[in-house]
Structure 1
Amino acid sequence: MKNLIKNIPTPILEQILETSFKWFVVVDRDAKIVYINQEYCDFLEVNREEAIGKHVSEVIENTEMHLVMEKGTADIAAPHYIKGTYMLPNRVPIVIDNEIVGAFGSVMFRDLNDWKKLSSHVKKSMDQIESNMKQYQNSFHSFYDIKGTSNAIRKIKETITMIAPTKLPVLIEGEIGTGKEMIAHSIHALSDRAEREFVKINCSTIPKELIDEELFGKWIESEQRLKKGRVQQAQGGTLFIEEINELPLTHQAKVLKVLQDHIVIPKGTDVEMKIDIRVIMSSNTPLVELVKEKQFREDLFYRIQAITLQVPPLRERIEDLPELIQTFMLKYSTEAGKRGIKINRKAWWLLQHYDWPGNVRELQNVLQAILYLIDGNQITEDVLPPTIRRHKQHLIRTNGTLEEILYQVEHQVLEELLENESDKQKIAQKLGISRSTLYEKIKKHNL
């Protein structure tokens, strides 16, 4: 059989592949595309020649081709959300001499209506998907928008999938700009309330004298009607209370009543209204500290803290920066009508060694502004904001496992040496390693 395949001319093999699979892609051991058929490129709206050689995640959104190689096992008929719909792909690692050298992915069904006809087992899975599909239309964020593979982000994703189907309240703590609202949307989108309302209120932006009626509603005597608050608007769905650390103590008791008794009393009346909502809260300050300072009710804190998601600042999960940059680059370069934008080595170094006090939101805003304003197709250090250009501090981050920390240190050392010296032999001598070992490490760190 092997000899037979070897004797088939390459053009014939390509023709067989093109006609056997509607959409398919082949990647090498570095998850870079080595072959993708034209029909798939037409669907993805990408140029075939430009797609080949790129990391598969740059071309196919939400791809898991690289994860298939890491696991070493095939993913068969795993629903893949792409370009506003679900489809069913197969992803299979390519093994030669007991070594994974790449992966092959093909789309089985581009329309899940066909898939639903196959079996009752598949139909059951499809029904679950359809029950949550509306969230992709109504929610600004989805589970797939949470980018990153750091331990902290993986843990958050795992927890979301476990708690989303429940009715339990959730507390999300993290600095401003870390993506707390995105996580709240994701919990709602994966719950059985996904087709109902997702209502939010930010306690830090509403004047204290108005927050009562905005949150709990108000009875307007002159008009004999109830002005619904956010609690009533979220009936049957999810209420997201942003920055609950800013909620006055006098109103925290009402939130506790909503959580414990499922009752709300609108301003201007003593009438109790039954409420069925899921409550998610966020805080940019650790609530346990506010409890100690008597600025947050202890009983409310213990009612909501059982499920707490701690979202780390970007500086503590810097390993997620390349994926975040790639995501925002793809999004905003398309919006700006620009293609093939690259970041030079010095700009990369500055981006990776900046503290990002504004977290992911700051990164997003910086890249958006740059991509709209730059001339040419390269982001250099000169176009970065002054705050980033001035940041020269060398940081050794101590979060993560020892292996992760050593990897980061090695990456930083190699990056700085390559920035200042083009002669690889001199770099190898300086590090006390062979030139071939240096090239292996450069490839390992994708430098």
Structure 2
Amino acid sequence: MRLEIACQDRVGIAQKVLAVFVEHNINVRGIEFEQASRIFISFHDVDFTELQNIMPKLRLIDGVEDVKTANFMPFERERNELETLIKTFPDLFISIDGRGNIHAVNKIAASVIGQDTHELAGESVAQWIKGFSLTKWLEQDEVLAQTTRLKFLEDDYVADMLPIYVEGDGNKTLAGAVLMLKSEARLGQQMTVFKQTKENSFASVHASSGVMRKVIREAKRMSSLDNSILIQGETGTGKELLARACHGASTRGDHPFIVLNCAAFPDESAESELFGIGDEKDNDAKRGIFESADGGTIFLDEVGEMSATLQNKLLRVIEDGSFRRVNNETEIKVNVRFIAATNKDLVKLVEEGQFREELYYRLNVLGLTIPSLRERRSDIIPLAEWFIAKFAQGQGKYSVSLSDDCRDFIEHYPWPGNVRQLENVLLRAVSIVEGSSIEIEHLQLPSFTREHGYLEQEFTGTLEEAVKGFEAELLRKLYPAYPSTRQLAKKLSLSHTAIANKLREYNINKKTVKI
């Protein structure tokens, strides 16, 4: 239980306050003064009747102005504030006494050392440090704050070392120091954020493979233009990430980037959501998506799933940048760039009449195709290591890595869900691993072997339908490369009649396939 006593700054007033507690045989656990006008008293809990007897007596003391219960002592708040800061500090934090022995550490430092926080109390921190004499620094006549590079457990760190002085009677005494150690990886992250500009907005798109580096080079060139971009690729390849990078590197980077999920956008509210409602003078007026994105970029996610209604409403705005709000006849002009993404074959949808041809050509002014992860296997391990480092740091784990068997496994796994699947699988693995090595059993993945391949659990349909689908896709890809069906038949070791029948069956001809 705690009381807060507002009082005048008067000699002997604290003694009179404590005398009341002595009179009632109450053991005081702590007393604290704040700005000479407040006294905080901490004592063991008493029943309500006893408290009602104490408080009037305290108020009768000469110089006491008010007495009320308090939730905490000032030092308790300060202590918990400091503990919270230390616990959440993202780098290694070590507090030592004047002889270099550990007083306290945060969980990250304890994790790196490999012991519990309470086990480290009293241990000499110098046993883990190389390249700097902590003892000589503490024995100087005046210990000054210092930043230096050193080795901690064989790893390189930059250490900020700050002495702790306690002042009293005009003197100050060295009580110890705090050490804050930043790893090379942490410094790199901080420098990346500090130097982040439009030019390096693509830093978030990781690429080691030649094919992915080529995509990024093309995307950087396209980002400086103001035309629409169509990004194609399988689910989970990072189409939105690339779109955001293109927006960030463009002259529109300081303006809004609004994501419109075309698959989930309801037709019944499309007009009001896109164009807004009413007049600016109307209290019920509402700005739509197009106005909100003025000067920036609208990202049309899953554009292949866009309904016919939404396609019609979108086309005019893309053509001339103008529209009218619902219930208003005033023409509004906006300056918006469109970046669209799809995992569908839009050419095929146009042929089938499911996607407007004019809209397709308006969106596909500039085109990018992101290869699947299985088509750029040299990206898998670097991506995996980056994800592991990010997730481990967020969970206060260090030195987490893939075992050799696990590295080999993920490098040859087909990753049907691409980068998104890899990221989710490794997040779970880092969360459940108890040691420092991620093994194959930590990966929650459908069965896969090099001998038998990968069984797609979501597969639907019959074997015949699957074979026909593969056959049609193969013929669509090969048809433009061969000037005659006879050459195509020879390539596939089939008769001319068989090829002609299959092309007819799958409606593949010069009109449906761009040659």
Q: Deviations over 1:289-342 (max 9, x none)?
A: 111111111011112212111111111111100111011011000011111112
Listed as ranges, the gaps of 5+ residues in structure 1 are 1-13, 16-21, 26-33, 52-57, 63-80, 88-128, 137-141, 397-447
Matches of 1:146 and 1:302 in 2, distance apart?
A: 27
8 A Cα contact 1:201 1:215, kept in partner: no
8 A Cα contact 1:245 1:283, kept in partner: yes
Matches of 1:308 and 1:369 in 2, distance apart?
A: 34
Distance 1:44 1:148, change over 3 A: farther
Three-state SS of the structure 1 residue aligned to 2:278 is strand
Matches of 1:256 and 1:82 in 2, distance apart?
A: 43
Match of 1:391 in 2: 448
8 A Cα contact 2:207 2:379, kept in partner: yes
**Residue 395 of structure 1, CA deviation:** 9.2
User: Which of 292, 310, 334 in structure 1 is aligned with 2:369?
Assistant: 310
Matches of 2:226 and 2:274 in 1, distance apart?
A: 20
The yes-or-no answer on 1:160 pairing with 2:219 is yes
The yes-or-no answer on 1:85 pairing with 2:194 is yes
Q: How does 1:8-407 map to 2 (within 5 A)?
A: 38=158, 45-46=182-183, 61=188, 82-86=191-195, 129=197, 132=198, 142-219=201-278, 225-387=284-446, 390-394=447-451
**Residue 39 of structure 1, CA deviation:** 6.2
**Residue 222 of structure 1, CA deviation:** 12
**Residue 349 of structure 1, CA deviation:** 2.1
8 A Cα contact 2:256 2:297, kept in partner: yes
Q: Deviations over 1:128-172 (max 9, x none)?
A: x4xx49xx9xxxxx4111011223311221122212122111111
8 A Cα contact 1:200 1:230, kept in partner: no
8 A Cα contact 1:353 1:395, kept in partner: no
Three-state SS of the structure 1 residue aligned to 2:431 is helix
**Residue 204 of structure 1, CA deviation:** 1.5
What value does the CA root-mean-square deviation take over the aligned residues? 3.3
Distance 1:157 1:221, change over 3 A: closer
**Residue 394 of structure 1, CA deviation:** 4.7
Matches of 2:449 and 2:287 in 1, distance apart?
A: 52
Q: Deviations over 1:70-103 (max 9, x none)?
A: xxxxxxxxxxx8341129xxxxxxxxxxxxxxxx
Matches of 1:275 and 1:258 in 2, distance apart?
A: 9
Match of 2:85 in 1: none
Match of 2:171 in 1: none
Matches of 2:180 and 2:230 in 1, distance apart?
A: 40
Three-state SS of the structure 2 residue aligned to 1:182 is helix
Higher relative contact order structure (alpha carbons within 8 Å, sequence separation ≥ 6) = 1
Matches of 2:209 and 2:181 in 1, distance apart?
A: 28
Whichever residue aligns with residue 82 of structure 1, its letter is M
Three-state SS of the structure 2 residue aligned to 1:84 is helix
8 A Cα contact 1:314 1:359, kept in partner: yes
8 A Cα contact 2:300 2:341, kept in partner: yes
Matched length = 289
Whichever residue aligns with residue 206 of structure 1, its letter is F
**Residue 361 of structure 1, CA deviation:** 0.7
- Structure (1/2) with the larger strand percentage: 2
Matches of 1:155 and 1:192 in 2, distance apart?
A: 22
Three-state SS of the structure 2 residue aligned to 1:204 is helix
Distance 1:232 1:273, change over 3 A: same
Distance 1:360 1:165, change over 3 A: same
Matches of 1:85 and 1:222 in 2, distance apart?
A: 43
TM-score scaled to structure 1, two decimals? 0.58
Matches of 2:349 and 2:321 in 1, distance apart?
A: 25
**Residue 227 of structure 1, CA deviation:** 1.9
Listed as ranges, the gaps of 5+ residues in structure 2 are 1-130, 133-146, 161-178, 454-515
Distance 1:227 1:37, change over 3 A: closer
Matches of 1:269 and 1:283 in 2, distance apart?
A: 33
**Residue 207 of structure 1, CA deviation:** 2.6
Whichever residue aligns with residue 235 of structure 2, its letter is I
Q: Deviations over 1:209-228 (max 9, x none)?
A: 22332233233899664322
Q: Deviations over 1:326-368 (max 9, x none)?
A: 1101100001111111211222222122211111111111111
Whichever residue aligns with residue 324 of structure 2, its letter is I
Distance 1:37 1:365, change over 3 A: closer
Distance 1:214 1:43, change over 3 A: farther
Percent of counterpart pairs with the same letter? 31
Matches of 2:452 and 2:333 in 1, distance apart?
A: 53
Three-state SS of the structure 2 residue aligned to 1:176 is coil
Three-state SS of the structure 2 residue aligned to 1:325 is helix
Q: Deviations over 1:169-198 (max 9, x none)?
A: 111111111111111111111111111111
**Residue 23 of structure 1, CA deviation:** 9.9
Whichever residue aligns with residue 320 of structure 1, its letter is D
Distance 1:278 1:395, change over 3 A: farther
